Structure 1
Amino acid sequence: MFVIEVIPLASLPPQVPQLLSYFFSKPLLKGSVVEILIGNRRTPAVVVSSVSLEEEKASLKKSSFQLKKLSAVISEVPFVSNRQFRIAVWLSRNYFTPLGLCLKTVLPSFFLKKNYKLQITNYKSENNQKSETIKPIVLLSRAKDTIKTVETEIKKTLRKKKQVLVVVPEISMVGYFYDVLASHYETTVIHSKISSKKLYQNWLSISSGDTEVLIGTRLALFAPFLSLGLVIIEDPANEAYRSDMSPKYNALDLAAEVTRTYSAQLTMISGIPSMDEYYKIKSGLHYIRNDLKDLKPADVSISNMLEEMKKGNFSVFSQESKRQIIKYAKSRKKILIFSSRKGYFGSLVCENCSFTFKCPNCSIPFRLHKSPESLFICHRCSAVQKPPDSCPNCRSYKLRPVGFPGSQRLEEELNQILSNNSLKADIFVFDSSSIKTSKSEDEMLKNMEESNSSICIATQLIFSHRYSKKFDLILIPNLDSLTTVPDFRSEEHLFYQFAKILDFEPESIVIQTYNSESPLISKLVSNNYDEFYDQELPVRKIFWYPPFARLIKLSFRHPEHSKATYETRITSEKLKMAIAQMKLGESVKILDPSPAFVEKEKGLYTHNIILKIMPEQKADEILRFVPSGWIIDVDPKNIL
């Protein structure tokens, strides 16, 4: 008889053992798949080790539990490789997530499905390979020059009979890279929208080494490469690289672990480095290579909207913006109006009593949309209501829209400007309200390309197409709205967005703001990110923010406000006591519990506890005191 240790492909609480032991009549290879019973539920599990019962007899006598027999063997042939085990363990330890859930994330969606057989062909060779850490490269490049910039590295890697992985943040960007690279190399694609059958075919092609270049979203990092030599991360600061589902991993950190596993080169490409990358470059942990080509700088003008209001201009466009729109529309040139909001206006308010119409399921105001009739839409839970004719609080009919204008409002004013000047132009609204499918997105892009005179009103959705699209004039109607989120990274994100705007290679840019004297704007316009970073880094060091400390957001959700408040307060005190008892005050800080920025969402109240942990401190020493039922988000997108 043999004791078989397995990882169940299920989510066990992280505080309990993640390996379960069973007995079986014969040993099973690591990576083979069995079926076990957890309660009365049949669950697949992956074998980690097999040990003779004689060797384990002494420890089993001391144990308080009785071994059960394996329910069934699904496959004696290993389906899971050592590298997949290693990445799953890394995910579990780094993000304090159940090991079974991490292993399930690493495995493909067709795993254990009928007619999709897997076999690890290079299992023994994996055991003999040693991991080597190669210093990552931060490569600065314009979006339209990205492929030319990395082509030399791709050719060099392929000459060594190694494979190349290109990771992009969004599916819409895959096509651009595929169209160029597939004409030269054996290229495969992986993302969440391809079918299980196609994924299976691609999976086999990658594991056999037939695929030379793989292009995909963060899912491609789990592919079974035969010999990976280069990982290219496009736009590494993009928030789409952070998973919203458990395990809440950051694809950039995962890419670094994958390259260590394969002893491959990691190259990150962007217009400007992130602040974390900038710090690592200055610390000698990353190389930097500047391949930015000198382009004719755009003519940037700043419109002070406070001065516009003093002059009686209450339009969403300044006089300078109107002049530029008329000038470029007459010349039939391409115009982009970068909108920070979709919809019509931020919300609707009663002028008499200041009553704000809020979503009943969420603690935020409804957004006002026109489609074509007026509608209230909640951008959190998607609830829809028709606006009333009068205020429910004071019965006043004086209701007016307030807040930042959205795409629909910009389109309305734009039509008025064109009409007043007898101009004609095709107006395209490029946001998630107008574009529901990839097909509709492609159709709109095609129509924009074929139009003789077009004006595009777009949210950041347009950034996925900066590799191929060009605009002659770009307007930013409200720069201030891009930094309204009270998060410590909001100004840093503004630099990323402006760098992407420059990728469209405009002749002119008009920036509208209510704070034209801000020193941030002058640094932004001159692309002087290094001065901003040098001023920001000492502040982050003082207050324990990345890259000097890790942030962990602990969130508790409950339908009752009092229960959410009570549970958060109790857990906070428990963690403070644990930190004091273990004398970790020099390496761990805990912020007092607080409601989330959007306290109520989809009927649930959310309260947060923020932990700041020094890099050398093991997070699991603290997180093991967090009760089950909490959401643990390591290195979160924000701390709101």
Structure 2
Amino acid sequence: MFIFDVVPLTFIPLSQPQLLSYFSPKEAQKGGVVEISLGKRKSLAVIIHCEPVSKRKAAIKQADFSLKPVAKILTPTPIFAPISFQLANFLSHYYFIPLSFSLKTVLPKNLLTLINFLNPPLTDNLELIKSNQSTLENSKLPPRGLNFPTLINLIKKSNKTNAQILILTPTIFHQEYYYHKLKTEVSEMNLVNFSPSWPKKQYCQLYQNLISPKENYLVLGPKSAIFLPWTNLDLVVLMDSNNPVYATTQKLPHYNTLTVSKILANYFHAQLAYFQNY
């Protein structure tokens, strides 16, 4: 018998515990996904810690409540990139939002489809937390006002094996414009014109390609692309970085993409650049 400490992928107020405990007859790893009972409803949850019941016997006996069983183990091994947990943790602390909500924001929306697509999971024994956690304090100010030839030069200088490059755009107009300009300049990379409205299968295929990289990828997309499962990022570029669209204020959680991009770049020791010329 095992105890799972999990974070539900639903909104739980900050005043309530963000980490809940359940028991299961089967073992699972950190980052696995389970279905739990939360009040009168079901919710997906991510395993943060798993250990045998024998290690918590004393605490269980003294508790004035009884643990509930996990309803279902959907995947016993992690299918998320470590950066996803780093970003969720950063959003929670920096913007003072519940970890349950920040984790739901960062992780893929169609989890059940993704779990079925990645069967068996690709990231067995993946470490979820790196020791060199990124902070804003050690971030450098990125270069601003790059012109297009300089941008192409930055892309072609990427020397990582199976490198990943992210270019964020504030609008669909920007994205389509730069996609067609880049198509003729970076033929040596897999250029992806990402959209959150992609069909589920197309999204899952990109997810698989990024979390288990075997080729160079350049992904062009809106600000939500910052939460894709990056594993080998070498360059992050924000087009028209002064555009107010990068500050998410219309819906929760509120965050600034420029701030999050610094955490993302620091985590991978990737170069960060702001592009402001048309």
TM-score (norm 2): 0.87
Aligned to 2:123: 121
After superposition, the Cα gap between the structure-2 partners of 1:62 and 1:235, relative to the gap in structure 1 and judged at 3 Å, is: farther
Deviations 1:557-591 (A, max 9, x none): xxxxxxxxxxxxxxxxxxxxxxxxxxxxxxxxxxx
Q: Residues 131 and 263 of structure 1 are in contact (CA less than 8 Å); yes or no, is this contact kept in structure 2?
A: no
- SS of residue in 2 equivalent to 1:74: strand
- Quote the residue 2:220 is aligned against: 215
Q: Deviations over 1:493-513 (max 9, x none)?
A: xxxxxxxxxxxxxxxxxxxxx
| Preserved CA contact (<8 Å) 1:36 1:72 | yes
Larger radius of gyration: 1
Aligned to 2:253: 247
Residue 208 (structure 1) shift: 3.1
Residue 123 of structure 1 deviates from its aligned partner by 5.2
Structure 2: how far apart are the matches of 1:175 and 1:78? 34
Matches within 5 A, 1:184-223: 184=186, 185-209=189-213, 210-223=215-228
Distance of aligned partners of 1:41 and 1:125 in 2 relative to their CA distance in 1, 3 Å threshold: closer
Residue type matched to 2:267 in 1? T
How big is each residue's C-alpha offset from its partner over 1:580-632, in whole Å with a ceiling of 9 and x where there is no partner?
xxxxxxxxxxxxxxxxxxxxxxxxxxxxxxxxxxxxxxxxxxxxxxxxxxxxx
Deviation of the 1:126 alpha carbon = 6.5
- 1:192 Cα shift? 2.6
Instruction: Confirm or deny: 8 A CA contact 2:167 2:237 kept in the other structure.
Output: yes
Q: Which residue of 2 aligns with 1:156?
A: 157
Counterpart residue number, 2:50: 50
Partner Cα distance (1:102, 1:260) in 2: 19
Q: Name the count of aligned residue pairs.
A: 267
Moved more, 12-21 or 84-93: 84-93
- Local SS of the residue matching 1:56: helix
Determine helix, strand or coil for the equivalent of 2:209.
helix
One-letter amino acid matched to 2:201: K
- 1:130–1:270: structure 2 CA closer, same or farther, 3 Å change rule? same
- Residue 204 to residue 80, structure 1, CA distance change in 2 (3 Å): closer
User: What does residue 235 of structure 1 align with?
Assistant: 240
Shift of residue 127, structure 1, vs aligned partner: 5.7
8 Å contact from structure 1 (residues 256, 266) kept in 2: yes
Q: 1:129 to 1:205 in 2, by over 3 A?
A: farther
Task: Find the counterpart in structure 2 of residue 258 from structure 1.
Answer: 264
Letter in 2 for 1:79: I
Q: How far apart are the structure 2 equivalents of 1:33 and 1:245?
A: 26
Q: Percent identity?
A: 31
Query: For residues 4 and 77 of structure 1, do their structure 2 counterparts lie closer, same or farther at Cα, with a shift above 3 Å needed?
Result: same
Matches within 5 A, 1:443-482: 467=278
- Secondary structure of 1:23's match? strand
Q: Which residue of 2 aligns with 1:500?
A: none
1:71/1:193 CA distance change after superposition, 3 Å: closer
**Taking structure 1 as reference, are residues 121 and 54 closer, same or farther at Cα in structure 2, changes over 3 Å only?**
closer
Contact 2:5–2:19, Cα closer than 8 Å, also in 1: yes
One-letter amino acid of the counterpart of residue 169, structure 1 = P
What residue number does 2:69 align with? 69
SS at match of 1:77: coil
The TM-score normalised by the length of structure 1 is 0.39
The DSSP-based 3-state class of the residue aligned with 2:113 is coil
Structure 1 position 40 matched with structure 2 position 44: no
Inter-CA distance 232–46: structure 2 relative to 1 (3 Å threshold):
same
Task: Tell whether the 8 Å contact from 2:9 to 2:100 is kept in structure 1 after alignment.
Answer: yes
Relative to structure 1, is the Cα distance of residues 52 and 80 closer, same or farther in structure 2, using a 3 angstrom cutoff? same
Task: Quote how far apart the aligned CAs of 1:262 are.
Answer: 1.6
Counterpart amino acid of 1:102? S
Tell me, in whole angstroms, the C-alpha distance in 1 between the residues paired with 2:125 and 2:166: 21
Cα pair 2:106 2:227 within 8 Å, conserved: yes
Partner of residue 15, structure 1: 15
Q: 2 CA distance for matches of 1:154 and 1:126?
A: 28
Which residue matches 1:527?
none
CA distance in structure 2 between the aligned counterparts of 1:117 and 1:11, rounded to whole angstroms: 26
5+ residue gaps, structure 2: none
Q: Which moved more, 1:195-204 or 1:123-132?
A: 123-132
Do the aligned partners of 1:5 and 1:20 also contact (CA within 8 Å) in 2?
Answer: yes
CA distance in 1, matches of 2:64, 2:83: 33
Q: What displacement does 1:131 show? A: 5.1
Note closer, same or farther for the CA distance 1:140–1:128 as it changes in structure 2 (3 Å cut).
closer
* d(CA) in 2 for partners of 1:122, 1:264: 25
- Distance (Å, rounded) in 2 between the aligned partners of 1:121 and 1:71: 23
Partner of 1:167: 168
Is 1:134–1:265's contact at 8 Å kept on the other side of the alignment? no
2:149 partner letter: K
Q: What is the deviation of 1:109?
A: 2.7
Structure 2 letter corresponding to 1:223: L
Q: Identify the residue that residue 83 of structure 1 maps to in structure 2.
A: 83
SS in 2 for 1:267: strand
RMSD: 2.3
- 1:544-583 correspondence runs (5 A): none
Distance 2:125 2:209 in 1: 17
Is the contact made by 2:77 and 2:123 (CA closer than 8 Å) also made in structure 1? no
Give the deviation of 1:113 after TM superposition: 2.2
Instruction: Describe how 1:339-488 pairs up with structure 2 within 5 A.
Output: 467=278
Which runs of 5 or more residues in structure 1 are unaligned? Answer: 272-466, 468-640
Residue identity opposite 2:144 in structure 1: L
Distance 1:198 1:172, change over 3 A: farther
Structure with greater contact order relative to length (CA < 8 Å, sep ≥ 6) = 2
Q: Which deviations, in whole Å up to 9, do the C-alpha atoms of 1:60-114 show, x marking residues without a partner? A: 3443332111111111132233321221111112222222221121122332127
* 1:538-570 alpha-carbon deviations (Å, 9 max, x no partner): xxxxxxxxxxxxxxxxxxxxxxxxxxxxxxxxx
